[in-house]
Chain A
Amino acid sequence: MLSSEDMPRQVKSRHAALPGDFAIWIFIFAELAMFGVFFMVFAITRTLDYRVFEASQRTLDRSLGAIDTAVLITGSYAVVRAVYAIRRGVARACTRWLAVAIGLGGTFLFLKMYEFHQDALQGITLSTNTFYMFYLSLMFLHFMHVLMAMIILGVVAWKAHAGYYSAIDHAGVETAASFWHMVDLIWIILFILVYVLH
């Protein structure tokens, strides 16, 4: 049992504000709402075009989807470690963990590009059927978000390396981390919706 001295510092300040810059949270809520509508429309459209969705879903590589998920979740863990490092004022470890997350983001993008390439080889396009229209649109939209998150993490990693952040002032790292976790959260739902449920 931890004493009150040992509890994480946030516990002491319960009812604290959201981590990072509040503006990013407005963006996060807007993005979650947009993806949420997409997910619900996907599921409802599937009820109307059930057989096409089932047959098309069978062509996807579920193993790759699971590997994508593991890669993004591990990236999220690296981002969490980066935040913990900068809270301790260890900028070097923060930069290192952010570099790991960027590397994993790159791995995710590489795997997605491989999947897109395989789809293109099979002649699959947005107009192939309703399932692929949703699948390719959602995947590409998410792909662009991962890319954006990697760019943000890259800028923050550079700033951490240059000594812009400290144990007291590190809102930039928390802001970037919140955006990355949002991208991870969207993928967790996307993985289940597109690759798992049938």
Chain B
Amino acid sequence: MINIQRHEIRTATFVWLLLLAFTLATYLIATYVPFGPAIVGIVLGVTFFKGRLVICHFMGVRYCRPVWRVIMMAYLLVVGSVITLAYLAAPVINH
């Protein structure tokens, strides 16, 4: 029982630190790196991963029926893809 608790707490703490590290990384990228298609892709990829961590580990969806995970991941993918396409198209359209 104690091992279960330790395992759960350790995982949650690791996920929390990972989320903070990703937030710092995206902040630094936005502040110091000139944006281009590759950077947009990296930032949105990191955001997708952050969203996945919150959904699976914090919300506990990883333990649920696969259909719920698929719905949540599809949400992140659809929203993320539209944002990526719009951001990549903006400089081209306004050139």
Contact = CB atoms under 8 A, between A and B. Distances in A.
Given A14-B63, A197-B40, A88 B5 contact: yes
B23 A66 contact: yes
A80 B12 contact: yes
B19 A195 contact: no
The DSSP consensus for interface residues of chain B is helix
A190 B61 CA distance: 21
26 contacts: A2-B7, A6-B3, A6-B7, A14-B63, A15-B65, A16-B63, A17-B65, A18-B64, A40-B79, A43-B83, A44-B86, A47-B86, A47-B87, A48-B93, A62-B27, A73-B19, A74-B16, A77-B15, A84-B8, A84-B9, A188-B47, A189-B47, A189-B51, A191-B23, A192-B43, A198-B35
The DSSP consensus for interface residues of chain A is helix
Given A6-B3, A77-B12, A181-B54, A39 B79 contact: yes
A8 B8 contact: yes
A29 B66 CA distance: 16
Interface in A143-198: 174, 177-178, 181-182, 184-185, 188-189, 191-193, 195-198
A36 B79 contact: yes
Interface residues of A, number: 59
B27 A11 contact: no
Contact of A192 (B16, B44, B60, B75): B44
Contacts of B83: 39-40, 43, 193, 197
Q: Chain B interface residue count: which class?
A: 35 or more
Nearest to B80: A189
Interface in B33-67: 35, 40, 43-44, 47, 50-51, 54-55, 57-61, 63-66
B68 to A, nearest CB: 6
A127 interface: no
Nearest to A15: B65
5 closest residue pairs by CB, A with B: A43-B86, A10-B63, A77-B16, A66-B27, A50-B94
A13 interface: yes
Contacts of B87: 43, 46-47, 197
